[in-house]
Amino acid sequence: MNFAFKATLAVAASLAGATALAQQATLNLYSARHYQTDEALYENFSKATGIKINRVDADDAGILARLKTEGAASPADVILLVDAARLWRAEVDGLFQPVKSKVLDERIPANLRGKDEGQGSQWYGFSTRARVIVHNKTTVQRADVDTYQELADAKNKGKLCTRSGSHPYNLSLFGAMYEHLGAEKAEVWLGGLVANMARGPKGGDTDQILAVASGECGVAIANSYYAARLLRSSKPEDKAAMEKVGIVFPNQADIGTHMNITGAGIAKHSKNRDAAQRFLEYLASDSAQVYFANGNNEWPAVTKVKVSNPALNAMGDFKTDAKVPVSVIGLNQVKVQQILDRVGYK
């Protein structure tokens, strides 16, 4: 082997090594979380590790569609989704690869993980939020809306406001209720929700809460962190609105309150698996878990992490619905959507 050939091999090896290092220094994150407060969460990871995060933002459905289109050519390393049933969908569609991590298994409860067939979990949940009921304290009594089922009662006719029935947050709640009630009763219940609407479904969860405060609606459904944001707001108008609104954790005497999660897994075709696993383990760290609580008003998935968020603490302890698996909620969503179409829930 002559000197020139040896030199060429050496340069090629050096370039290959540099390319590998460059790949390891950038993590491609496909994220359905669009919260400005998460910027510091990602920046802290980059500062601690030297790994830059390149983020692609879309909603859950958009991310899943993009991953399917890209196939094996996808540059995604980590998939971060904000709905339990969408995590299940990504798992079923084979978009994750299993993660075997002692750190994650020790810190994340088993009910907040994806399927594990001995090779590791497909995904892990990192924060939770409750689907609560908010009511106008002047026009609606708490006792009249302390279960999801009561929202369909005649006593609440003309009082209910929600966002679109087909939004993932509602589909997950409805999928869980379908499991609890059965097909026939679930259809009656969803039809009752439509009959009790104060106006057509529109807007986001914050819009529902403010509509309750203004008196346009008597009662609404919203994720807990939207209420917590308004409770922590320094704006006089937000403070005034929340003085008029009561927050109910439904079904404390039976099934418990429906919970949803933010979760993530390593993309099936990740080129930076080690960096991706490091990022997931970072999300389970005390500092990141506290940030979920303080940054976006969600409860940490790691149960031993203490929350100092005043809005969350003011909500107190409550019973959660832990009986319906994520996979069942996902399976039920197709049936639920068919019911929504039949009963005219837009």
Q: Global pTM?
A: 0.87
Q: How far apart are CA 271 and CA 23, in angstroms?
A: 8
Same domain, 230 and 327: yes
pLDDT at 24: 53
Indicate whether 155 belongs to any domain. Answer: yes
Mean pLDDT of the chain: 92
For 256-304, how does the pLDDT look when each residue is reduced to its tens digit (9 = 90+)?
999 999 999 999 999 999 999 999 999 999 999 999 999 899 999 999 9
The answer to whether residues 335 and 214 belong to one domain is: yes
252 and 216 inside one domain: yes
The pLDDT, as a whole number, for residue 288 is 95
Q: Which residues contact 301 (CB under 8 A, 6 or more apart)?
A: 107, 108, 109, 112, 124, 125, 126, 127, 128, 261, 284, 289, 292
The predicted pLDDT at position 37 comes to: 78
Residue 231 pLDDT more than 80? Answer: yes
Identify the band that residue 34 occupies on the pLDDT scale cut at 50, 70 and 90. confident
Q: What's the average model confidence in pLDDT over 11-18? A: 36
pLDDT tens column, 240-261:
999 999 999 999 999 999 999 9
pLDDT beyond 60 at 16: no
Instruction: Say if residue 77 is in the same domain as residue 153.
Output: no
Residue 7 has what pLDDT?
35
Pair 162, 274 in one domain: no
Whether the CB-CB separation of 57 and 302 falls below 8 Å is answered with: no
Which CATH number do you get for residue 31? 3.40.190.10
Same domain, residue pair 140 and 89: no
Query: Which residues lie closer than 8 Å to 30 by C-beta, 6 or more apart?
Result: 55, 56, 58, 63, 66, 67, 76, 78, 79, 80, 267
**Could you tell me which residues are beta bridge partners of residue 52?**
26
The total number of structural domains that make up the chain: 2
What residues contact 316, with CB distance under 8 A and at least 6 apart?
none
- Whether the per-residue pLDDT at 188 is higher than 90: the answer is yes
The confidence score (pLDDT) of residue 111 equals 87
229 shares a domain with 273: no
pLDDT of the residue at 322: 87
Q: Are 117 and 54 contained in the same domain?
A: yes
Let me know whether 254 and 266 are in one domain: no
Is residue 185 a part of any domain in this protein? Answer: yes
Q: Are residues 222 and 253 in the same domain?
A: yes
Please give the structure tokens belonging to residue 89: 């969908």
Residue 71 has what pLDDT?
Answer: 97
What's the whole-number mean pLDDT along residues 56-76?
Answer: 95
Does some domain include residue 14? no
Lowest-confidence range among 176-180, 199-203, 327-331?
327-331
Q: What is the residue range of 223's domain?
A: 128-258+318-343
